[in-house]
Homo-oligomer: A and B are copies of this chain.
Amino acid sequence: MTMTGKLRAAIVGSTGYGGVELIRLLQSHPDIEITSVISSSSAGAPIEEGFPHLTGIVQRNLDGVDAAEIANRADVVFTATPSGVSAKLVPQLLEAGLKVVDLSGDFRLKDGAEYEQWYKHPAPPEAYLQQAVYGLCEVYGERAAGVDFISNPGCYPTATLLGLVPALEAGWIKPDSIIIDAKSGVSGAGRGTSLMVHFAEINENFKAYKINKHQHIPEIEQVLTDIAGEKVTVTFTTHLVPMTRGIMSTMYAGLTGEHSEQELVELYRKYYAGRPYVRVREPGVVPATKEVSGSNYCDIGFATDARTGRVTIVSVIDNIVKGAAGQAIQNLNLMMGWEETRGLGYTPVYP
């Protein structure tokens, strides 16, 4: 705690897009103060050197990664690190008595073998995999209260699962019919440089990648299986959109009966009652990504088709907010027993 009673927060991976978004959002959180921004690659340098937009806002040098030092400076740590790094670091942070919200993906799968198959790294120790609470707030939010360790959901799973869970739980869609066509802005690929994110290769271009091979597939299936009570397998395609922020997940499923758009809206509004960050649109209206940009909202809409007996579900988020930093703060709020919306009252930036 700071002398003014604020929770002290450290951010590991402060020079990635997820980390720097945590910094932006936490500026307006009334109960949290950032006391350490950490980067293994740039330790020692002022953070505004690599992120001039923070000039005069965050005047702080980047710290190195050292669990003991972090424990001296902070009460809670956000680990926005590449997959594989958190697997080793998080256990040390937890042992040092810190609360942790991990954004890396390393603790999302309960089955270590499945992790190793999809992530191609050694899995973290079993005990930590089991300890981690999967922080999909609007579905598993009640599990977060009082815990020390949250594994923050992936960006694609967040948009996708919030779009599927109510209908699947209600038994309105056929579990073996789910096809997910997802599209993401380029910030989802991180700040690392590669030909794939070169402006001239992305701009005025649209491409699919990792078809049926994305590491978010087992994460999505783990939750859907939990909800359905039977093994669910999905077809999942990811595409890169020439934009910076935003994910749309367009989902297709066979309906088990005749359910109108109006009924779906009511079902979802009931499911998400009291959860302000999911906005279910009017029947026949589907959301666009810009309508949630810069904010923690997930917006959902439906189109049913009597001709084919299928429903099309459209779910959008800002991949860096609701798909990463925003949901991480929402999870911390739930861990601390604070109101879910604390520090997250950002209106979408439009246009």
- Residues of chain A touching chain B, judged by Cβ–Cβ distance below 8 Å, are 17, 20, 23-24, 27-28, 51-57, 179, 181, 183, 185-187, 191, 193-195, 197-208, 211-212, 233-235, 237, 239, 241-246, 248, 250, 252, 276, 279, 281, 285-295, 299, 303, 305, 307-308, 310, 312, 314, 316, 345, 347-351
Q: List 7 A-B contacts (CB under 8 A).
A: A17-B200, A181-B181, A193-B197, A198-B198, A203-B243, A208-B286, A294-B294
State whether A250 touches B208 (Cβ < 8 A): yes
Copies in the complex: 4
State whether A305 touches B212 (Cβ < 8 A): yes
State whether A205 touches B53 (Cβ < 8 A): no
Contacts of A233 in B (CB 8 A): 307-308
State whether A310 touches B235 (Cβ < 8 A): yes
State whether A206 touches B243 (Cβ < 8 A): yes
Which 9 A-B residue pairings sit nearest by Cβ, starting from the closest?
A207-B288, A205-B290, A211-B303, A53-B348, A181-B181, A200-B351, A53-B291, A53-B350, A193-B193
Please pick, from B53, B199, B294, the residue contacting A199 in the complex, using a CB distance under 8 A: B199
State whether A235 touches B305 (Cβ < 8 A): yes
Query: Given A181-B181, A200-B191, does the pair A205, B243 have CB atoms closer than 8 Å?
Result: yes
Please pick, from B197, B287, B289, B314, the residue contacting A198 in the complex, using a CB distance under 8 A: B197
User: A248 to chain B: closest CB distance in Å?
Assistant: 5
State whether A290 touches B197 (Cβ < 8 A): no
Query: Given A195-B191, A345-B27, does the pair A204, B203 have CB atoms closer than 8 Å?
Result: yes
User: A141 to chain B: closest CB distance in Å?
Assistant: 18
Query: Given A20-B350, A351-B201, does the pair A53, B290 have CB atoms closer than 8 Å?
Result: yes
Supplied contacts A24-B350, A179-B310, A245-B351, 10 more A-B pairs, CB within 8 Å: A24-B347, A27-B345, A56-B276, A203-B204, A204-B245, A204-B290, A204-B293, A206-B243, A237-B250, A237-B312
